[in-house]
Structures are given as structure tokens and as C-alpha cells.
Amino acid sequence: MSTPATPVVAAAPAVPAIPPSPTEPAITEPGVPFVEIEGLRSQQFIPAAKEALLSLLAEQGQGKVIRPVFNWAGRNSLFPLHWGLACCAIEFASAFGARWDAERFGVVPRSSPRQCDLLIVNGTVTWKVAHKLITLYEQMPEPKWVIAMGNCATGGGPFRTAYSVVPGVDKLVPVDVYIAGCPPRPEALLDGILKLEELIRERRE
């Protein structure tokens, strides 16, 4: 009763083999073995390149080759610490909003001091919070910069003679750029950041 199953699908026609192009050599055997290339690279090319770079450095000086590259990268990716103290923090926030958009200068606020290289002190610093500011500054990796934003951070502002206010954060941390204003407008903050970028451009150390 049973009949042998007949194949439903017909066998695919055989693909004709592409003949090798007469202009290209056939890749059958490599001319130079791979191991030989690696050996050549490690013995000849890398020491030659190293020697060339070292002679260039010795000739031009390290400050003319490496340092500008670092400065260029650093000043175009300033990451300030996202830390608001007083009313200057409102201007700080609006500087990163849609209208002023400080991110076009590569300035992106980060929430952890470990990821930051710029501390913008925006507001009145009291003696109670002073050691926390120092701790945050010390947690930031080198190289790092500080901007004192507004009159309070610059010199105490209207609270200069008060019993509880630090008269300027340069009593606590080294400040690179001072921004005047009470509070300074976002344009002033952007100007301060650009001034800081000029400072970083001139950095030689």
C-alpha cells in the first residue's frame, strides 16, 4: 500500500562557479605569513615610531605637544558639580536651560564630585557648611577649578560681617574665576566659564 515519498521540492540548480579574475591574484597562499608581519611590527616599526616621537618631544618640548592637547580636551568638557546653595543656583540652573544652554560649551553638570572638574560655588557659604564644601572639593579628581559665583561666594556679599558667613570661599578653596553680581545673570556665568577656558588654554605645568 505504501508508496515511496516523492520529493516535493525540486533540487536547486547548481550555482555556476565564478571564474577568478585575471587581474586579481587568487587568495590561496599569503605572500608574507602573519607571524612574520607581527614580528616585523614589534621589532622594527614600534621602536622606530617611539624613537621618532621621543625625538619630537625632546625637540619641541613636552609643553608644546602634550599640554595643548590636554588643555584643549579639558576646557571643552568642563563638568561642574551640580550643587546649589542659594539664589545664584537659580541662575546657575537657568544657564543650563533652553535659552542659554551652557551645554554648547561642553559644560554638563554632574551629580557626583568624582565626575567633576569644576566647582561652581553659587551662594552664601556658612561656617556650618564650610567643611562640606572642602570635602566636596577634595573628592574631585585633579585637575580641578573653582568658580566663585556671585557676591556672597566672592566676598561674603551683604552678609560679610555676619557671625555665621564665610567671607569669601577663597578662605576655604583656591578660586580661579570670580563672577560679580547679586545674583549674576546666566550671561555672566557663561562669560566666567569662557574666562576659565582661557585660563585653561594658557595652562603650563
Partner 1 sequence: MAEEGVGALLRGKLPDAVLTVEPFDGTLGRVTFAPSHALEVFRAVRDDLGFAHLSFVGGIDWVAEREVVYLLWSDERKAYLLLSTRLDAKDAHVESATPLWPSANWHEREAWEMVDITFDHHPDLRHLLMPDGYAFHPLLRSFKLHEPEELEVKTRRV
> Where on the chain is the footprint of partner 1 (CB under 8 A)?
127-128, 130-131, 134, 156, 160-161, 163-164, 166-167, 172
Residue among 175 and 189 whose Cβ is closer to partner 1: 175
* CB of 125 vs partner 1, minimal distance in Å: 10
| Nearest distance in Å: CB 131, partner 1 | 5
Query: How many whole angstroms separate alpha carbon 41 and alpha carbon 48?
Result: 10
In angstroms, rounded to a whole number, what is the distance separating the alpha carbons of residues 118 and 148? 11
Cβ-based nearer residue to partner 1, 68 or 158: 158
Q: How far is the CB of 170 from partner 1 (least distance, A)?
A: 12
Q: Shortest gap between Cβ of 152 and partner 1 (angstroms)?
A: 12
Q: How far is the CB of 120 from partner 1 (least distance, A)?
A: 20
Q: Which residue number, 41 or 160, has a Cβ lying nearer to partner 1?
A: 160
Q: Which is nearer to partner 1, 64 or 131 (CB)?
A: 131
* Lookup: cell for 3: 508508496
Residue among 57 and 129 whose Cβ is closer to partner 1: 129
CB of 172 to partner 1, least distance (A): 6
SS3 string, the chain, reads: CCCCCCCCCCCCCCCCCCCCCCCCCCCCCCCCCHHHHHHHHHHHHHHHHHHHHHHHHHHHCHHHHHHHHHHHHHHCCCCEECCECCCHHHHHHHHCCCCCCHHHHCCCCECCHHHCCEEEEECCCEHHHHHHHHHHHHHCCCCCEEEEEHHHHHHCHHHCCCCCECCCHHHCCCCCEEECCCCCCHHHHHHHHHHHHHHHHCCCC
- Residue from 118, 70, 95, 62 nearest 181 by CA: 95
The nearer residue to partner 1, 112 or 164, going by C-beta atoms, is: 164
